[in-house]
Amino acid sequence: MVTTLEMAHASLRERGCRRFEALRNEQFPTQFILSALFNSRADAELHLQMEHYQNWQEATAGMLAEAPRLETFTQLF
């Protein structure tokens, strides 16, 4: 959890990072969802190259239910 918190704080200092959320499942407290919002896809792709993200990837190897993925959404309201 400490590594995730460090990654979240570092991510929020990145250019283009508008929000970073960590959510825990109330029924299954060992399950989490991490979500970050960036100004552009380019900013999000740069995030994946950052040292703090790479460190988090190494620290959580084998712990994730599925691989992190980069998806693009349009805000409706």
| pLDDT for residue 1 | 77
DSSP string, 15-30: TTEEEEEEEE-SSSTT
Say whether 7 sits in a helix, a strand or coil.
helix
Could you report the per-residue pLDDT of 15-62, keeping only the tens digit for each?
999 999 999 999 999 999 999 999 999 999 999 999 999 999 999 999
The residue extents of the domains of the chain are: 2-59
pTM (two decimals): 0.85
Q: Which residues pair with 24 in a beta bridge?
A: 32
Closest CA to 10 of 63, 58, 64, 49: 49
Candidate CATH numbers 3.90.400.10, 3.40.30.10, 3.30.70.100, 3.40.50.620; the one for domain 2-59: 3.30.70.100
